[in-house]
Amino acid sequence: MSIRKGTDWGRPEPVPDDAIFVNDDAEANVAISASRRARTPTPPLCLLGGDLARTLGVADNEASLRAGEGTHVQIDLGMALVDGRLVWFVSHLVARRSWWRGPIVIAANAAFLGGYNVAPKAHPGDGRLDLIEANPSFSERLKARSRLRSGTHVPHPQIKIRRCRAAQLELTRSTPVALDGISIGEARTLSIRAEPEALDVWI
């Protein structure tokens, strides 16, 4: 069952025997990426924590999941070609040299990035990614930082957000890229898209 705004978030279902328990987005990324590269079925995930889990409203669910009880939801998966290299992300792709200067690009499947609600309208089951492109002045970054936890940093004239199924970007210079908190090196070109309802997760 996919997640749609205005509908129930999943349905109660037993946890599959082959489900992988993940504590954060990085662990989820490793599990998904391994299956994709091996061209094997994408494993079901039990989310115990991380930005995706927080976006889905997870709180202290480990005992019930370990007991085999949970709520099943189908969510989207982010895919990207990073300088031609195919990669995946469950929560976000981030391209930046610094949070305090220079351009920032975030492709968000989840609303949260660490303690910040960077993409307050991002929805993991709508078939789209929230693409954030920003290069504000230092003073505007200071102001935005104070509003990031609540998600009230947008709308902002120096922060562009668009919701898209796919997008291509050419960065102004080679820029470090991270997927779900995992650094993968620098890149100049990004081609991203959402793969709808590609992940089965239990929360």
* Domains of the chain, first to last: 11-76 (no CATH), 79-196 (2.60.200.40)
**Residue-level pLDDT, tens digit, the chain, 203 residues:** 334 444 456 899 999 999 999 999 999 999 999 999 999 999 999 999 999 999 998 888 999 999 999 999 999 999 999 999 999 999 999 999 998 899 999 999 999 998 889 998 999 999 999 999 999 888 878 877 777 777 667 667 778 999 999 999 999 999 999 999 999 999 999 999 999 999 999 99
Residue 169: partners with Cβ closer than 8 Å, 6 or more residues away: 105, 133, 189, 190, 191, 192
Global pTM? 0.90
